[in-house]
Amino acid sequence: MQAESLSLNWQDWLERWDKQQSGHVPDREQRFQAMLDVLEVMLPAEFIAVDLACGPGSLSKRLLARFQRAHCVAVDLDPVLLALGRGALGDMQGRLRWIEADLRDAGWIAQLGGEQVDAVLSTTALHWLPVESLVQLYSWLGQLVRPGGVVLNGDHFMFGPHMPTFARVVKTMRARKEASAFSQEGMENWRTWWDALARVPGMQTLFAERERRFAWRGEEDIEPIPELHEAALRHAGFREVGVLWQNLDNRILMAVR
């Protein structure tokens, strides 16, 4: 089912998505800005970026609004969030292309048309992938990103079992931040947003398809430690890899091809 066949105010739902996401990640906009600052420093005015596990395109929207000559390809498997993104953003004057694909399958790269890209970005998403799939994905990115290009992964990267005090402190501080963000009466969180959209007439088919596609996924995020990400990116051929920006465990991992 395509977004156009449903009579929803997609823009309103996207704004509600961004609002609840900012409750869970209070410094979300700062992370977005830092990622885009990297692109401004590293890339020419005209470039091609890929937004991996793009959801409804929050990052793609900000990227294309800031860089008027850039093009972006948004890739995701979630039929609900893709419908929302397509309905709210469209193709942004021909500069945004949507690909519906599973990142565990190399088929999504073929849909790009065989051309190398300047940047690959992802935010609050790749923690869903099993470790073996994450390592394989980074290996593919080592071929997809042109020399001099960049990968930016913004996410909550947990502290490993060798740093239990760090992990405990971060967990407590994150819980306090979220409680403060959602203290406003009627503020939607992740769960209430999804429940509300699922009740909208006509969305049932998309939600059923979403459940089918993600049946493999467990209840808990896998959250590999950042050292695993860094090692996998180096093995994939990225010459500089490290954390560029950080607030508690909210980090931007940068890899330069």
Burial classification of residue 83, based on how many CB atoms lie within 10 Å of its CB (0-12 exposed, 13-18 middle, 19 or more buried): buried
- Mean pLDDT, the chain, rounded, equals 93
Count of C-beta atoms within a 10 Å radius of residue 40: 10
Instruction: Identify which has the larger pLDDT, 150 or 24.
Output: 150
pLDDT band, residue 4 (cuts 50/70/90): very low
Q: What is the set of domains in the chain, with CATH numbers?
A: 3-256 (3.40.50.150)
pTM as predicted: 0.93
pLDDT over 80 (residue 119):
yes
How many CB atoms are located within 10 Å of the residue 180 CB? 11
